[in-house]
Chains A and B, each alone.
Chain A
């Protein structure tokens, strides 16, 4: 793990990033879906919520690239808008996890064994005592289904993940000489955490962030599949799959495209995470070459 690197080293690092095949492939896949989500703000082939009974259950064709669903909606347009929902939910949820979890973890590490450390870590355990999906279902069941509640639900289970990661990584750093030097120089725990610890755990946070991002997409798809995510008429991949399941014998293409969208997005993020981990962790890289 390195600290803030000089510019030249950074350039070499970027080149290193794009020499990892997993990273390039994953980055490419992810970029396609992010682009689809962004473009959907300005343009989709059809209105993703427009019903058209005459066109219902059409297979893929030139007019409707991915076909139409049981209400005659254009599946390609729905997937574009659905990408927007999925990515928005996952990004904000990971953001909640990082913004709340990392400071908690750093604070706990700066006073290891103190009451604050105990309280923070035990509160984490409490959240961990419930499987993530269950918390999400509980929150959406109590406060009503919807995209915002899905974000909060997924965000909450991200907090202990980042808190634990930050604490574990920071604890080893606190024993280093340069941290000791900073303490001798009179820097406080908050300043040391922000100036010396945080930059050194950024790599770890980025890798974990990618993984949590893909888990967020999966969780959002699962929630909307059981009907607790974004509500109709807002298109969501999970909801599209649930609808498709009832029509599976009639129109298998309805399941194929949203299913592929979920798998490819998550695959892209996983590949990216794998690639980043290899780049950041020279030990694993060495054993591969």
Chain B
């Protein structure tokens, strides 16, 4: 979901400062501070999760002493700040505890589920960039052409259709009506070298791509139209530079700046939105793990998942900011 207010806001906000070593440190410091904030929020929210996990673990014949012992075992008898301290130190060491519902190490569980989610997200992102940018360019350069109008109309439907609706339509057409593809799961996994994948047959991927693709395409189109009407392009035309050079070297480069931001943000939201996509298709990724954890109030898994997604988001945002400095010479240090 596009949740940014204005893709250029980041550019404007960064434009006043030259990117120097101290700015870089500052940026990294802010990232660490944000992560700490995320950790505190996750901890606080999860302490008030309704449903006592201990109550789900004990047998009916447990005595109050057994319950107290179990509470002490999980450190639930300490004060909140102490609990946070212990939990945070453990987290720093990569120890997220044991899943309450599955009685397994949380890191192990996440490690198992992570490849499925990343595979879905990365392939969806790469494909939607590979298709979305050319289509966006087409629509911006020939806005009155039939192809552009068609693509533009279809894209509006694309961004209006949530992945779970696309998903159900795909299941209906391919699995139920035509009986062609497996409607859920990763399908038949195909072995390509060391990478075992079900992507080639998965409907979930197609559902994710449709939304991403249209989003990228529309962004490229509107940015490019914007750039093409700016003065420097007019001057380039007046100088008699070839249309090809103007469109692809001068204009596209500038139009793609916001695409970096949005792609970064989208990777994060794709991971989050995988919760829904994975539920539709029973794709065995982290999102499905999280939804199952929510229904069991499995706090360690929920905490680990949220922290992990928070970490990914902060990393992506920081990387996007740094990438901007690399791509845009105006933001590079002039000192």
Spell out A's residues near B (CB within 8 Å): 122, 125-126, 128-134, 137-139, 141-144, 157, 161-162, 164-165, 168, 171, 208, 211, 214-215, 218-219, 221-222, 225-226, 238, 241, 244-245, 248-249, 252, 255, 259, 262-264, 266-267, 270-271, 274, 283-284, 286-288
Contacts and interface: CB of A to CB of B under 8 A. Distances in A.
Interface string B147-181: 00000000011011110110011011000100000
Contacts of B3: 128, 131-132, 157, 161, 215
A125 B34 contact: yes
A131 B302 CA distance: 15
18 contacts: A126-B41, A128-B3, A128-B313, A129-B37, A131-B269, A131-B313, A133-B275, A142-B45, A142-B46, A164-B5, A171-B12, A218-B162, A222-B273, A244-B168, A245-B168, A245-B171, A262-B161, A266-B161
B72 interface: no
Contacts of A283: 226, 229
Interface in B26-62: 30, 33-35, 37-38, 41, 45-46, 48-50
Interface of B: 1-6, 9, 12-13, 30, 33-35, 37-38, 41, 45-46, 48-50, 143, 156-157, 159-162, 164-165, 168-169, 171-172, 176, 222, 225-226, 228-229, 268-269, 271-273, 275-276, 279-280, 290-291, 294, 302, 306, 309-310, 313-314, 317
Majority-rule SS of A interface residues: helix
A241 B172 CA distance: 13
Given A134-B306, A225-B164, 16 more contacts: A126-B41, A129-B38, A130-B309, A131-B1, A134-B272, A134-B309, A138-B45, A157-B3, A215-B1, A215-B2, A222-B276, A226-B275, A245-B171, A263-B161, A284-B225, A288-B143
A211 B162 CA distance: 14
A244 B161 CA distance: 17
Contact of B317 (A129, A221, A286): A129
Contact of A284 (B5, B226, B279): B226
Residue of A125, A142, A162 ringed by the most chain B CB atoms within 10 A:
A142
B168 A287 contact: no
B165 A263 contact: yes
Contacts of A248: 168, 171-172, 176
